[in-house]
Structure 1
């Protein structure tokens, strides 16, 4: 029986470009799960979002199929465009050598810093809209915070096996704290940073990479941005963004214990990323320290 040839992602992109009669293939971006290529087809450039692997099995994404993430990207980008939000148009999801590849439009980026005021206004507009309905487990009203609480517990347990960490409240306690204060449901992007925004002269032309998106309270988006802002290359001015967000109709409560739990969710996730997915000892220690501090704050409110 002949063995099926396994192609590397860059080979997959090259073979797809050839299949579509495109040329001038170039790598234009990369993340922990996907590589982004552009290629000239006729007189227009098109983009290929190619997964690094077919199934992810990392500390933050255990047994998650690349296909499910591509379908989410397709649905969310179409939803955003239908509601007047800047997003890269995804035109097709195709199979290339066993890899699910998303074909998208290419939007230019001039490399300028994203304007925090414009980004905050954009997020306020996103959170005003009725949410996109997800079919995935744990996304329905009444269950999402159980999912969030359990993922904090699971990710934290992996970190605690390697590092000295304080005790974490049970998943049931975390869930109760979230459900007590968080009652709105909106579509959240949950990976807002400069790398996932196409920018021209500071203005956001498109947000993309909706892999983390889910429906929950807007506080989760703002809490995650607060943790992301600790990384300079994410290009986030948290204070200006928050001011623009509230000035354009957005609202959030950062005074409850739920806010601390949401920040803990982000800090624990980032500690896991820098522990194994994208190893960086300094950043791992930063977010381990932030996790410990947040747990101390949480303990004083219980």
Structure 2
């Protein structure tokens, strides 16, 4: 099995999975495609490590994220939301957790972007699942942002010392808590790569590792920041049109949500998965948002 780690090849052989081959890969996970013993096409997702230690996520257990992927799929599918069906979890010989899902056929064409916006609105109208997402750490969203944004920003400042400063964590939490918000499930990684589409329709939304529960404005703010990067392949205007923009922007809160996304992306491009072609513009975007935040912080 060319390009397949030996430990995964061994597990595949034991499970009767044939023709396993690399399909895609990200910062934290590798994804492979194979054929099950009954001829069914499968997707196998394996982490690069048992525990992730990056500038954005320190000490996050891969098993917990794979468990979350399964829980989200099993919770959303009965409600008609398009997800990939999870078939089971296993471990390699060295103990790495592996998630096996049913393969979802897709093509390279763009989806109807307005329907993507409507799909997000549908997601946000559902009751939030329990237990909460892994990266929420049991906190309300305002408290989580007030904790992680300054922590990540300090790591970014170590790489880019001239960025300026943030309000205090307590002040951030207070401002976000003032904004009326539903407690919705947020995907928070809406990119073309995470939308499996065929014939213009979204067949499955994948990769729920970044999910949180809280203000839907955060989803729209992060989507907007992602849309600034061409390779994410998003049409922000049509997505917002399909969503119907029922969650109007809220000044400081929206800026904080955008800054949370921009700082995360800057750390990715500078440290986690270096991209010298994208890092300068992303760092400049952080500086721009800091100026906007300072101007609106009254």
TM range (shorter): over 0.9
CA contact (8 A) 1:148 1:265 kept: yes
1:245-299 Cα offsets, whole Å, 9 max, x none, are 11xxx62121321000000000000001111111012312112111111111111
Q: Which residue number corresponds to residue 173 of structure 2?
A: 175
Q: Which residue number corresponds to residue 225 of structure 1?
A: 223
Q: Tell me by how many angstroms 1:9 deviates.
A: 6.7
Q: Which residue number corresponds to residue 157 of structure 2?
A: 160
The runs of 4+ residues in structure 1 deviating greater than 2 Å are 8-13, 134-140
Q: Tell me by how many angstroms 1:114 deviates.
A: 2.7
Q: Which residue number corresponds to residue 269 of structure 1?
A: 264
Q: Work out the number of aligned pairs and report it.
A: 291
Scaled by the length of structure 1, the TM-score of the pair is: 0.92
1:125-164 equivalence runs, <5 A: 125-135=122-132, 136=134, 138=136, 140=138, 143-163=140-160, 164=162
Q: Which residue number corresponds to residue 4 of structure 1?
A: none
Q: Which residue number corresponds to residue 68 of structure 2?
A: 72
Q: Which residue number corresponds to residue 99 of structure 1?
A: 96
CA contact (8 A) 1:114 1:235 kept: no
Q: Tell me by how many angstroms 1:11 deviates.
A: 2.3
| Partner SS, residue 94 of structure 1 | strand
| Partner SS, residue 127 of structure 2 | coil
State the distance in 2 between where 1:255 and 1:154 align.
Answer: 24
2:282 to 259, 265, 287: 287
Q: Tell me by how many angstroms 1:201 deviates.
A: 1.9
1:190-217 Cα offsets, whole Å, 9 max, x none, are 1010111111122110001000011111
State the distance in 1 between where 2:219 and 2:170 align.
Answer: 22
Scaled by the length of structure 2, the TM-score of the pair is: 0.93
Q: Tell me by how many angstroms 1:183 deviates.
A: 2.4
1:238 to 236, 239, 246: 236
CA contact (8 A) 2:262 2:282 kept: yes
Show structure 2 runs of 5+ residues with no match. none
Show structure 1 runs of 5+ residues with no match. 1-7
Q: Which residue number corresponds to residue 51 of structure 1?
A: 47
Q: Which moved more, 1:165-174 or 1:264-273?
A: 165-174
1:105-148 Cα offsets, whole Å, 9 max, x none, are 000111112321121111111111111123457455x6332111
